[in-house]
């Protein structure tokens, strides 16, 4: 019997989770992504092109695993040394001051930056005969031939792909546009889902700060900061000069207000506000001689679900599937946001297709 085939748009957590489950069931899987490599919002870069230059996560920062299947999935990567537990000294900024914050949360990070974990998964999929991965392929409007029950995708780069099923894992605004012609009803239905923006700035500083990560409870601009150096395995610790490679995230309200602001001005604002939280470290000689500098600035237009969807999705499936056209939608926005939600969503949609 001929195996079913599927085109999956997106090689983030959700797309790769769906692909792994369907490839395991021997489906013909075609993965397409407009980016140069896998990861999506689990995004990592290096400070220079040199392979040994320090890396930083500028999208997702760490993740948690509570769902049994997801725990199993991460266990394999922990054993392979791709993931590790992260136990930073965490501070919390509240009422104008920083205090130590203790919790029992088990946090996971990747030993070479979060995208490396997804790249391992993509490479493992690409090594299978029934899986094809194509990067730098941007999909505009998939088409559905009802008489043949077949999806067809032509990318902006001019390549054509066809399959029985289509899975879209982009954020809701982008998924809605992608489905607007071939699956208009679906496209309309998801217009209620909105994403929040996030400005992300990575800053280098030689000044040692008293924490490795910070939550900001009621700060007007910031909501998160983490020193990427603290995520390296001890044996691969970056050189002294790179002691502080901090990722700073602005909060959703400020990011929305400044969504069209100049990136250089945004970077300076976030850095100024962050160092102002540590007046003692800031007045040190080190800080004056080597003022902190921005090494990377990124505006995430669709960073996270704008609303907490955990309550609305409590009793609902963590995906949307339309049987008639054999099209499914998956992603963090259908399962409470976050890395774990994205994986649960992609995996559950794939199981639905196999049922």
Q: What angle do CA 13, 44, 124 make, to 5 degrees?
A: 45
Instruction: Tell me how many residues contact ligand FAD (CB under 6 A).
Output: 38
Instruction: Check binding of 139 to ligand FAD (CB under 6 A).
Output: yes
**3-class DSSP assignment, residue 139:** strand
| Contact between 20 and ligand FAD per CB under 6 A | no
In the bound state, the residue with its beta carbon closest to ligand FAD is: 40
Q: Contact 301/295 with Cβ under 8 angstroms?
A: no
Determine the distance from the C-alpha atom of residue 61 to the mean position of all C-alpha atoms in its chain, rounded to a whole number: 9
- By CB under 6 A, residue 34 contacts ligand FAD: yes
* By the rule CB under 6 A, 193 interacts with ligand FAD: no
The least distance separating ligand FAD from the CB of residue 171, rounded to whole angstroms, comes to: 6
Candidate list 74, 174, 251, 269; residue touching ligand FAD; CB under 6 A: 174
Judged by CB under 6 A, which of 30, 44, 200, 255 binds ligand FAD?
200
Q: Assess 119 for contact with ligand FAD (CB under 6 A).
A: no
Question: Which of 164, 242, 273, 332 is the binder for ligand FAD (CB under 6 A)?
Answer: 332
Contact flag: residue 63 with ligand FAD (CB under 6 A): yes
Residue 346 CA to residue 332 CA, distance in Å, equals 9
Tell me if 222 contacts ligand FAD by CB under 6 A.
Answer: no
**Which one among 195, 304, 318, 329 touches ligand FAD, defined by CB under 6 A?**
304
- Could you give the string, one character per residue 243-272, with x where binding to ligand FAD holds by CB under 6 A and - elsewhere? ------x-----------------------
Among 183, 303, 320, 349, binds ligand FAD (CB under 6 A): 303
Rounded to the nearest 5 percent, the helix, strand and coil shares of the chain are 30, 30, 40
Helices (H), the chain: 13-24, 68-79, 114-126, 172-179, 184-189, 252-257, 263-275, 279-282, 285-289, 338-354
Tokens of 322: 């339309």
Q: Does 350 bind ligand FAD (CB under 6 A)?
A: no
Q: How far apart are CA 127 and CA 122, in angstroms?
A: 9
Does the footprint of ligand FAD cover residue 299 (CB under 6 A)?
no
Helix (H), strand (E) at residue 325 = none
- Out of 27, 62, 193, 319, point to the residue binding ligand FAD (CB under 6 A): 62
Read off the tokens for 187.
């496209």
Rg (CA), the chain: 21
Chain centroid to Cα 29, Å, comes to: 22
Q: Which residues bind ligand FAD (CB under 6 A)?
A: 9-15, 32-35, 40-42, 59-63, 138-139, 169-171, 174, 178, 198, 200, 249, 300, 303-304, 331-332, 337-339, 342
């Amino acid at each position: 019997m001929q195996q079913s085939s599927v085109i999956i748009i997106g090689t983030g957590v959700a797309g790769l989770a769906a692909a792994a489950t369907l490839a395991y069931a021997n489906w013909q899987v075609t993965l397409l992504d407009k980016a140069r490599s896998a990861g999506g919002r689990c995004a990592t870069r290096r400070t220079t092109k040199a392979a040994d230059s320090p890396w930083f996560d500028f999208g997702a920062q760490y993740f948690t695993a509570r769902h049994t299947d997801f725990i199993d999935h991460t266990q394999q990567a922990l054993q392979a040394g791709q993931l590790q537990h992260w136990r930073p000294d965490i501070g919390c900024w509240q009422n104008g001051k920083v205090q130590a914050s203790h919790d029992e949360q088990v946090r996971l990070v990747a030993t070479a930056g979060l995208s490396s974990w997804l790249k391992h998964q993509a490479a493992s999929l690409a090594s299978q005969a029934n899986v094809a991965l194509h990067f730098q392929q941007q999909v505009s409007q998939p088409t559905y031939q009802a008489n043949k029950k077949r999806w067809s995708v032509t990318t902006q780069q001019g390549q054509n792909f066809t399959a029985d099923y289509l899975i879209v894992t982009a954020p809701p605004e982008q998924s809605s546009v992608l489905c607007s012609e071939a699956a208009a009803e679906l496209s309309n239905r998801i217009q209620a889902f909105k994403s929040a923006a996030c400005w992300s700035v990575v800053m280098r500083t030689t000044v040692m700060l008293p924490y490795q990560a910070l939550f900001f409870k009621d700060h007007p601009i910031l909501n998160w900061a983490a020193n990427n150096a603290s995520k390296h395995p001890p044996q691969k610790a970056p050189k002294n000069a790179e002691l502080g490679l901090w990722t700073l995230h602005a909060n959703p309200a400020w990011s929305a207000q400044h969504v069209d602001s100049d990136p250089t001005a945004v970077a300076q604002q976030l850095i100024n506000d962050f160092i102002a939280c540590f007046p003692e470290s800031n007045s040190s000689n080190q800080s004056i001689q080597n003022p902190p500098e921005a090494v990377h600035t990124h505006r995430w237009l669709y960073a996270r679900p704008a609303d907490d969807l955990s309550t609305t999705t409590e009793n609902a499936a963590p995906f949307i599937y339309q049987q008639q056209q054999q099209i499914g939608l998956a992603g963090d926005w259908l399962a409470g946001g976050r890395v774990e939600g994205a994986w649960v969503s992609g995996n559950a949609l794939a199981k639905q297709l196999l049922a």
